[in-house]
Amino acid sequence: MPQYMVERHLPGITPDQLSAAASRAKNVTAEMTREGKPVRYLRSTFVPAEERSFCLFDASSEQDVKEANERAEIPLVRITEVRHISAEDVV
């Protein structure tokens, strides 16, 4: 399944608000999967100095990721398909 990175600009967001947004993303994607649209929220990375968050999703399409974020009421700047490379993947 493709992976998508969602970039967010979240000026002034608090740690509690970040946690609440992640919880909404997790719950909405689980609900969408039960409805027959497989989407999974994987993780987020927040960059405090830039007030930006990068959130990783598994999904069949960019549109499904967009719908998940709209339903979770989490703003976004853009959605980009990405490929994961870990230290274990390279020589």
Across 63-82, average pLDDT: 98
What pTM value is reported for the model? Answer: 0.91
What phi, psi does 45 have (nearest 5°)?
-125, 125
Superfamily (CATH) of domain 3-89: ORF SCO4226, nickel-binding ferredoxin-like monomer (3.30.70.3090)
Domain assignments of the chain as residue spans, ordered by start: 3-89
Across 50-72, average pLDDT: 97
User: Which residues contact residue 69 at a Cβ distance below 8 angstroms, ignoring those fewer than 6 apart?
Assistant: 6, 25, 75, 76
CA distance 48 to 14: 10
Distance of CA 4 to the CA centre of its chain: 7
Across 78-87, average pLDDT: 94
